[in-house]
Structure 1
Amino acid sequence: MSRPTSPEEGPMAHATEDRTAPNGAGPDGAAARPASAEGPAKRPLRGRTLPELGALLLMLAALVLFFSLKTPQFMTQGNLLNLLTAVAVTGIIAIPGTMLLIAGQVDLSVGSGAAFCGVMMASIAQEQIILVGVLAAVGIGIAIGVVNGVLVTVFKVNALIATLGMMAVLRGLTHVNADGGTIALANFAGLGTARPFLDIPLPVIILVLVAAIAVVLMRYTVFGRSLYASGSNPVAARLVGVRGNKMLVLAFVASGLSVALSGLVLTSQLSAASPNSATGLELTVVTAIVLGGASLSGGRGTIQGTLVGLLIIGVVNNGLTLMNVNSFYQQVASGTLLILAVAFDQLRLRLAKT
């Protein structure tokens, strides 16, 4: 009989310590001791997640120190705000992406979806008021999430294949609707460039709000516990009554909403919608999530870890740019980080089995 763990702790797949399901039974179907018998399981959370998060923070601090010594412009206020703004666009998508990966799923259509929502919004706004275009983009994002969720849960299409196909479909539709060109859009710069509070860019504020909501959902709600249970052991979770399919569809819808929001922010920053925008964004999102400690096997990950992973990627890209390093090497660095993160995740799983 295993002791209940906190939802943020996210046990690794096949690990010996299983997660307690939301209804109080363990994934193996046996009744677990109520949490009140031992109090809230906060000690295991600190004992297992903080050292890993601490290592990420140490890596981030080392990168900040390195680039600060290499280029004096790095630690200026303007550059740091630019760095956070660039990270925010990716982070808005990476937060629900973390939820999906915790549940053992992935969404590779996020880049194409963001571009499609931006192009559709700009196209509609040219004929209607901007609000109509914004609402249409949000509706399109929700529709994308629903389609992905239904393909995975109802038709049992592997999430990798379903979202990879959706990525191609949406990118093609984006070029068709934009007629291969860029659609200019005036009077919509506020969402991407406004600084309403303490000179902090609005996209950064949006990212903080999205992350805070996600932390609450994953720590204190049945939704979050269900995602952890489904990712850790989907068969056992289903046997104890976890409504995994419903929660997965909701997670995909959250991903679709974040895609629409990021597409709107990108369009606002550029004052135009380009069919080539957000190309490769899905790679950066997956890299940040895995680098932040989420397992490709599901059942493990934290929103906080993803945020630190985003900052690491942002610092590397920003620092290399300030050092006038060729942009192609930034892609090399991003790919290297992804490979190292996945390799470390696999090593961690093997060590857990032993």
Structure 2
Amino acid sequence: MSNAMLSQGVIRRLFGGSGVGTTVLILLIFYILLLIVFSFLSPFFMTVRNMTSISSNIALIGLMAAAGTPLIIAGGLDLSVAAVAGLTGVIIALLHAAGVPIWFAVLAAIAVAVVIGLVNGILATYLRLNPLIVTLATMSIVTGVSLILTGGLTKPLFVDGFNWIGQGRVLGVPVPAILMLAVYVALWLMMQKTHFGRHAFAVGGNPDASRLIGLPVDRTQVSLYVMSAVSGAVAGTVLAAMLGAAAPNAAGPHLLTVIAAIILGGTSLQGGRGSVWGTLVAVLILGTLNNGLTLMNVSSFWQDVTRGVVLILAVGFDGVRQRLG
């Protein structure tokens, strides 16, 4: 067996397909080039402190994008994940302020996220409503509920008692980054080593054929909507612990970056194709790009422009992949 064939086999085993694996390798090469460029542009970039800061800051986006990847692979879409993250922080802060132990407050917030995920899944699958409209509506509802619970206040609600989850370190590595990596490993195992993961690829690739051969199409998609909402709740918990505070719109500005990371990472908007590792590398690229531009004193307004351009390029790249495929 040639070295090329061995390499292709490794790519397929790691990333779920040679095409997706090639995308991930290209992204890795681009990420390395990005590191090199910024290390020359700023003397503060390639330092332990800055690399630690990047790994901690990307955890929020990485956690929200994690479960969104298998959902899009299965033909779904969740635009409410950032709103769920914001609501999670608000629920934790309000319950803890009322005397509820912090971890019971966290569990209560995650339970609310499960309900939101079920509502999204049932509306988008069993009732056959457009997932874009469903989750856009849910995003508006959840954000509104967060504002109602806080009385319309936009200032942060302070949270204490579990800051280690957001600010702690293990052997110098930020806890949020460790948690994010653990989630990606678990999702990769689920997508590559379980029947549920294989069902997700089949459902996204051809839902009608999947129904004909007896696959649980609707149940698979509903489960993934729940996972996406829980992913948002975990991200909201980490954000509240990281900041020591919560606000209704705390995670809202990151939604475009989350979607861009998933698409840029090789996950097709048409479903049936993608990789959680591709999403993770794309998260690294976008987080590093944001950090590098900040170090170079680039205006936050131009950073918003950059995120929009990246999203357009990611969608265009996905279209090119579809045509070449």
Tell whether the structures are fold-level matches, with TM greater than 0.5.
yes
**What is the alpha-carbon distance in structure 1 between the residues aligned to residue 73 and residue 297 of structure 2?**
37
Q: Residues 190-224 of structure 1: CA distance to partner in whole angstroms, max 9, x if unpaired? A: 110011x2111111111111001000000011111
Question: Which structure has the bigger radius of gyration?
Answer: 1
Match of 2:224 among 246, 251, 266: 251
1:164 aligns with 2:136: yes
Shift of 1:167: 0.3
Shift of 1:283: 1.0
Give the structure with the higher percent helix.
2
Letter in 1 for 2:172: D
Indicate the residue corresponding to 2:29 in structure 1. 58
**What is the alpha-carbon distance in structure 1 between the residues aligned to residue 26 and residue 297 of structure 2?**
28
2:178 match: secondary structure: helix
**What is the alpha-carbon distance in structure 1 between the residues aligned to residue 15 and residue 68 of structure 2?**
25
Indicate the residue corresponding to 2:175 in structure 1. 202
Indicate the residue corresponding to 1:82 in structure 2. 53
**What is the alpha-carbon distance in structure 1 between the residues aligned to residue 217 and residue 254 of structure 2?**
27
Q: Is the 8 A contact 2:15 2:277 kept in 1?
A: no
> Aligned pairs, how many?
312
- Per the alignment, do residues 349 and 46 of structure 1 end up closer, same or farther by CA in structure 2, a change over 3 Å counting? closer
Once the two structures are overlaid, the 10-residue window that deviates more, 177-186 or 73-82, is 177-186
Indicate the residue corresponding to 1:273 in structure 2. 246
Shift of 1:43: 11
**What is the alpha-carbon distance in structure 2 between the residues aligned to residue 313 and residue 279 of structure 1?**
16
**What is the alpha-carbon distance in structure 2 between the residues aligned to residue 122 and residue 42 of structure 1?**
42
Indicate the residue corresponding to 2:322 in structure 1. 349
Unaligned runs of 5+ in 1: 1-8, 10-40
Q: Is the 8 A contact 1:293 1:305 kept in 2?
A: yes
Letter in 2 for 1:331: D
Shift of 1:46: 6.1
Once the two structures are overlaid, the 10-residue window that deviates more, 62-71 or 173-182, is 173-182
Of all paired residues, the percent bearing the same amino acid is 41
- Per the alignment, do residues 146 and 47 of structure 1 end up closer, same or farther by CA in structure 2, a change over 3 Å counting? closer
Structure 1 residue ranges (4+ consecutive) displaced by more than 6 angstroms after TM superposition:
none
Q: Residues 110-156 of structure 1: CA distance to partner in whole angstroms, max 9, x if unpaired? A: 11110011101110111122122111111111111111111111211
Aligned CA-pair RMSD? 1.6
Letter in 1 for 2:91: M
Q: Is the 8 A contact 2:16 2:275 kept in 1?
A: no
Q: Is the 8 A contact 1:183 1:274 kept in 2?
A: yes
Q: Is the 8 A contact 1:110 1:281 kept in 2?
A: no
Shift of 1:179: 1.5
- Per the alignment, do residues 283 and 222 of structure 1 end up closer, same or farther by CA in structure 2, a change over 3 Å counting? same
Match of 1:189 among 142, 163, 171: 163
Q: Is the 8 A contact 1:144 1:253 kept in 2?
A: yes
TM, length-normalised to structure 2: 0.93
Q: Is the 8 A contact 1:317 1:330 kept in 2?
A: yes
- Per the alignment, do residues 113 and 45 of structure 1 end up closer, same or farther by CA in structure 2, a change over 3 Å counting? closer
Shift of 1:49: 3.2
Indicate the residue corresponding to 1:97 in structure 2. 68
- Equivalences for 1:1-354 in 2 at 5 Å? 47-127=18-98, 128-181=100-153, 182-195=156-169, 197-352=170-325
Letter in 1 for 2:226: V
